Amino acid sequence: MQSVTAIRHAIEAGERTPKEAVGAALNGIAAADAGVGAFEHVGDRDVILATAGRSKGPLAGIAVGVKDIFDTHDMPTGYGTPIYAGHKPRTDAAVVAMLRRAGATIVGKTVTTPYAFLDPAGTRNPLNQHHTPGGSSSGSAAAVAAGMVPAAIGTQTGGSVIRPAAFCGVSGYKPSFRLVPTVGFKTFSWTLDTVGFFAAKAADVAALAGAATGRALAVDAFEDSAPRIGLYRSGAWNEASRDMQEALAAVAERAANAGARVTDIAEPAELSAAREAHSLIQNFEAALALSDEFDRFADRMSAKLVEALQSGRNTPPEQYDQARRIARRARTISHSLFEEVDILLTPSAPDAAPEGLESTGSPIFAKLWTLTGNPCVNLTAGYNAAGLPLGVQTVAAFGRDAAALSGAHWLERLH
């Protein structure tokens, strides 16, 4: 994999130019994408290299893949569906513009599942092409894992950043809710949709997101002392495979041996209820957000998406309002989880990437934190017998994004 921090150090040392770094990414896409299918569209090479040659800022030389759910003024944006084939927005999504201003070079649009929902989109896991890369940010995670680009962006409404990052063995960072603007991407659920970032390791994804947002996200919070870690076996714990449970326990043991104070954290009933409320909120809002598409193009949608939208349309507003009250209580209660710990450690997904391309996997271990808005970072805890990564996530208190990133970085260095 390419490293954001290594590329930046090489450029600062005069060992390579931004144009050369971006050119290497384009070469990587040309060499690897035929087998993986991570990119929906790649820009004109000459234009991209000319742009990279003029780039300035902390992300100069960093080639970025943009999930095809974000608007881009210079590339088509199809939202993963033929309904929008050839659609060309006039302006960039806010986060795309932020990346460009920081010096990043947008090299192409990565594959998304249709409307960033659960239906697979054809991208293969570069670690084993017979397995799913996860979704909905399938192409973004796969492009980084395959070494095509050092960085990519995606979105998460349930588990669409953390899960593909786990399946592909890369760092995926879902920020605190609304830390990064969602202006300019196709809305699915406005109280859940969150922009996310992909890179090789926690230090790389922190550098990427910090430069794009201008926020202090550097991974140095635990340089002088070990973090206090809460081992969070949620109400969904039985959904985790034995491999996943053992991988999480092994990370916790390494952390304790390195000086971390590790304690068990029980899941409050309010958070269990919130996990169950997630789908109702998501589907109700999606039915409104995609109301026109559903009315006019339902025959061109998958059965799974139609079922979800119809469920949302059939949900009375009073039930939606009650689910929102459950979510509000959960957000309040979630603060209490961090009274004695800096970060929580919990699975990113039930297991390693499932075999086959018929499913993108389950978001059950990620969707609660999307609903509560807590920052999360995936890291690889180990590997199963087939050599596929087992991802766990660090979760921090709302607004404590640097702690989630620093905790993941600290744990990565214990391997």
* Residue 136 annotated in active site: yes
Spatial separation of the C-alpha atoms in residues 114 and 120, rounded to whole Å: 8
Kindly state the tokens that stand for 87: 């659609």
Of 55, 136, 171, 362, the active-site residue reads 136
* Residue 160 annotated in active site: yes
Q: Measuring CA to CA, how many Å separate 386 from each of 95, 127, 162?
A: 37, 10, 21
Of 67, 109, 186, 201, the active-site residue reads 67
Amino acid letter, residue 314: N
* Residue 174 annotated in active site: no
Of 55, 137, 140, 160, the active-site residue reads 160
Q: Which pairs count as long-range contacts for 331-334, CB under 8 Å and 24+ apart, including other chains?
A: 331/371, 331/372, 331/373, 331/398, 333/268, 333/270, 333/271, 334/271, 334/372, 334/374, 334/397, 334/398
Of 331, 334, 332, nearest in space to 344 by CA? 334
Catalytic residues: 67, 136, 160
